[in-house]
Amino acid sequence: MSKQTAHTHGDPCFDGRMARFGGDLHAALTALYGKRTDFADWHQRLIDLVWRAYDARPQHLKALDEARAAADTPWYQDAKMLGYMCYPDRFAGDFGGVKQKIPYLQELGVTYLHLLSVLKARKGDSDGGFAIADYLSTNDNLGSIDDLEGLISDLRDAGISLCLDFVFNHTAREHEWAQRAIAGEKAFQDFYFMYPDRTVPDQVEPLLDEVFPQTAPGNFTYVEDAEKWVWTTFYPYQWDLNYHNPAVLLAMLDNLFQLANRGVEIFRLDAAIYVWKQLGTHCRNLPETHVLIQLFRAAVSIVAPGVALKAEAMAGARHITKYFGHADQAGKECQLAYHNAAMAALWDSLATGSAKPAYDMLSALPEKPEGTSWVYYARCHDDIGWAALRDTKGAEWGASDEHLNWLWRFYAGEVDGSFARGRRFQPVPGEAFAGSNGTLASLAGLEAALEAGDDIALDLAVRRILLLHAVPMALDGIPLIYMGDELALLNDYGHADSPAHQDGRWLHRPVMPDGLEGFTPVHQSAYARVRAGLRSLIKARKHLPLLGAMNSSRYLDAGNDHVLAFVRPAKDEVMLCLANFSASEQSVDAGVIEEVLGAGARDISPLNGICGRRLNELGPYQCRWILGEKTE
């Protein structure tokens, strides 16, 4: 053990974790701040913070940490894992309402619940709750932080882990740190990037992308009260934190530890790609960003190893795997990561009827490191960001700007033959930067079919919805259901009536209805099919251990551009998934199935109601699961 990591406190568990992870902690801190003359002092402060957080961790959570550490495989890689994401107020009103809906979540099969926008946000417009005014309090309409802790306990008793957003790129300008910066306190002005004039912003701005080019153009905001320009990547009221200052790092770690000690088991690291700023660069996906996340991971591994970090890296497909850790740091960043590129690719394939976009990209990406898991989903609370399909280095799978422009027009219903009812998000004239908003059901054609009273279109829409559930259920990660998708909810066109919901993404953030309130009989019939299909998929997945995230997906050329094919190998068995992205019947060479699965292959598809006749035949938008013995 090096001198730098020889910090013992007479607690065998803590000292053992320090011996294991202290080197990673020290290395990351050195990479970020090693040139500072006061480095040794900051290192000691970090170790002291880590010890205090560990010492304060409740015994029942320490027991959870130990149990998870002793397991043969990480708990989040189990095939029984199923995520559910919702806004608590729109799902159930408040924390008490969520508690009452625990049986609903259990019946669905949920094992981790992601509650959005829980921590105390600024009043009024808050970017959907992602402008945090206090990390250690909750929004008044939901209940207190103690109420949240009680809910977490009830969820854990029901076998459900809680995930919260950890917004660590920025705070609200209403946060105490920002208010003290406005008041002129130099120590807190150093928590942010504040400039006396436009000299630095004008130098940096041309290198930066605009996240919200329509509603919040530019990356800097003049704050009249402080007479300074502040770096604001997102909205003017969201001030980017300055991690060049180690005081920011320790303050944010302290917030995370206190929430972890309340029982939060998964932290979604919001806007991870932007968190480190370096003048003269585009300030996205920088090497220091990864070092910072490595530091967070090492610190959490010492204090609360039963806690998982989840990367929200809305970057090009080439970058996302790196948020697990890359090269000699593989597996040392986040244990979980959203596969936003897979989501975009599946919607691309659905629009074109060709699986080639999804196959070309997914087969080219590196495998995730051992001990990690993707989080796959058809929809989430954000827009579909088509930029994930771009590649500036010229990869064959990289989509052209022309195609990306076509995609958001297709999902806005602006292309002849489109089945979708969505809306553009933040379009820039002549650029491929618009996203797509809309619920899964509306984007997949259910809304248009109901409007037209077209039974054939209705059947195809339901098939599309189930296809976009079936593929994530079969992939190597945790499938995530977004609130309302299990009900086939349609777009909420009244969202803009609320001053706090002007952002176009509220189109797909509807309030969960009481039962099927407002559903027409035809919509109820479509929902019944979605419900039955989704529950069949969930039940089948939970009884197939080989679908655990420890077994990576391997993509195959199906010999038919309409069909996405991948295998999930285990020790003695292998499952082949065939997904038809076409509205017509398709088939693959029967030899492909026999080569992968042998002669004894059998259909275990949960959605047998839409099957073709033979194993190699696929109905419109059908997803087949076929099981066989491992032949390799």
Span 11-65, pLDDT tens digits: 999 999 999 999 999 999 999 999 999 999 999 999 999 999 999 999 999 999 9
Q: How confident is the model at residue 4 (pLDDT cuts 50, 70, 90)?
A: very low
Asked if residue 462 lies in contact with residue 450, where contact means CB atoms within 8 angstroms, the answer is: no
Least confident of 102-116, 466-480, 506-520: 506-520
275 vs 285: CA distance, rounded Å: 8
52 vs 74: CA distance, rounded Å: 26
Q: How confident is the model at residue 570 (pLDDT cuts 50, 70, 90)?
A: confident
Closest-CA residue to 443 (of 464, 457, 467): 464
Closest-CA residue to 293 (of 279, 278, 312): 312
Q: How high is the pLDDT of residue 209?
A: 87
Give the sign of the dihedral formed by CA 423, CA 428, CA 429, CA 430: negative
Q: How high is the pLDDT of residue 1?
A: 38
Q: How high is the pLDDT of residue 131?
A: 97
Strand partners, 574: 569, 628
State the Rg of the chain over Cα: 24
Which listed residue (240, 312, 348, 447) is catalytic?
Answer: 312
Given a cut of 90, whether residue 609 has pLDDT beyond it is no
Could you tell me the two tokens for 40?
């040794």
Asked if residue 599 lies in contact with residue 590, where contact means CB atoms within 8 angstroms, the answer is: no
Could you tell me the two tokens for 288?
């220091």
Please state the rounded mean pLDDT for residues 399-425. 95
Q: How many other C-beta atoms are found inside a 10 Å radius of the C-beta of residue 59?
A: 7
Question: How high does pLDDT run on average in the chain?
Answer: 94
User: Is 575 in a helix, a strand, or coil?
Assistant: strand
**Does the active-site annotation cover 312?**
yes
Which listed residue (65, 240, 270, 486) is catalytic?
Answer: 270
Summarised one tens digit per residue, pLDDT across range 363-385 is 998 889 999 999 999 999 999 99
Asked if residue 355 lies in contact with residue 564, where contact means CB atoms within 8 angstroms, the answer is: yes
468 vs 342: CA distance, rounded Å: 11
Closest-CA residue to 256 (of 269, 247, 243): 269
Given a cut of 70, whether residue 7 has pLDDT beyond it is no
Could you tell me the two tokens for 623?
């997803």
At residue 281, φ and ψ (nearest 5 deg) are -125, 175
**Does the active-site annotation cover 270?**
yes
Question: Which pTM does this prediction carry?
Answer: 0.95
Could you tell me the two tokens for 375?
């989080």
Closest-CA residue to 317 (of 285, 269, 275, 292): 285
